C-alpha cells in the first residue's frame, strides 16, 4: 500500500471517535468532533495531491478514496438524523445516489476519478456537516439547513451527470 492509499485508509480511524463525540451534547465535544471531521476531510485533499505529485495513482486509490469519503459523510449524517437535526429523507437521497454510483462504477471497465460536480458535492457536504456539527448559536440553524439542502441538490446533480451518458458528436 502506497502513502496516498495509507492516508486514505487512515481517515477511517477518525469515524468511531466522531460518532462517539456526536452523542455528547457539550460544546467541547462538538468542537472536537468538528476538528476530527475537518482533519479527515483535509486528508482527502492530501491523499489526492500526493497521489498525483508522487505519481502513485492506483485503481485501489480510485476505489478506496470515494468509499472512505462516503463513510466519512454518511456516518455523521446518520447520527444527525437520529438526533433529529436533519430529515432522514435528505440523507436517504444522498445514500441512494452513493449506492447508485457505486453500482454503476462496478460495471465500468475503468475506474475514473471524480469530476468537478463530484468534487463540488463533496465540498458542499463537508461545509454542511461542519455547520451542523459545530456548536453554533441558533442564528446558524437556517444557514446550516440551507447548506445541507444545497449539498443534497449537488448530490443529485452530480449523480445525474455520472449516470446520464454524454451526447455523442454527430459525424
pLDDT tens figures, 58-67:
888 888 888 8
Question: Does residue 144 belong to any structural domain of this protein?
Answer: yes
Question: Does residue 96 belong to any structural domain of this protein?
Answer: yes
Question: Does residue 118 belong to any structural domain of this protein?
Answer: yes
How many folded domains does the chain comprise?
Answer: 1
How far is it, in rounded angstroms, from Cα 139 to Cα 152?
A: 22
With a CB cutoff of 8 Å and minimum separation 6, the contacts of 38 are 126, 130
pLDDT class of 3 with cuts at 50, 70, 90:
very high
User: In terms of pTM, does the model score above 0.75?
Assistant: yes
pLDDT at 122 exceeding the cut of 80: yes
Residue 103 structural domain: 3-163
Question: Does residue 148 belong to any structural domain of this protein?
Answer: yes
Q: Which ranges of 56-140 would DSSP assign to H, the alpha helix?
A: 59-82, 88-106, 116-133
How far is it, in rounded angstroms, from Cα 88 to Cα 24?
A: 21
Question: For residue 103, what is the domain's CATH number?
Answer: 1.20.120.1760
Question: Does residue 41 belong to any structural domain of this protein?
Answer: yes
Amino acid at each position: 500500500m502506497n502513502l496516498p492509499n495509507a492516508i486514505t485508509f487512515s481517515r477511517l480511524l477518525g469515524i468511531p471517535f466522531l460518532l462517539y463525540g456526536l452523542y455528547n451534547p457539550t460544546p467541547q465535544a462538538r468542537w472536537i468532533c468538528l476538528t476530527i471531521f475537518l482533519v479527515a476531510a483535509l486528508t482527502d485533499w492530501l491523499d489526492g495531491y500526493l497521489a498525483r505529485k508522487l505519481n502513485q495513482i492506483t485503481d485501489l486509490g480510485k476505489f478506496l478514496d470515494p468509499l472512505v469519503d462516503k463513510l466519512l459523510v454518511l456516518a455523521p449524517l446518520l447520527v444527525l438524523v437520529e438526533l433529529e437535526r436533519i430529515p432522514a429523507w435528505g440523507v436517504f437521497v444522498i445514500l441512494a445516489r452513493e449506492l447508485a454510483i457505486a453500482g454503476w462504477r462496478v460495471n465500468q471497465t475503468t475506474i475514473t476519478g471524480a469530476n468537478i460536480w463530484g468534487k463540488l458535492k463533496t465540498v458542499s457536504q463537508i461545509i454542511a456537516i461542519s455547520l451542523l456539527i459545530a456548536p453554533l448559536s441558533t442564528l446558524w440553524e437556517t444557514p446550516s439547513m440551507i447548506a445541507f439542502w444545497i449539498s443534497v441538490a449537488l448530490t443529485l446533480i452530480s449523480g445525474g451527470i455520472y449516470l446520464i451518458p454524454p451526447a455523442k458528436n454527430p459525424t
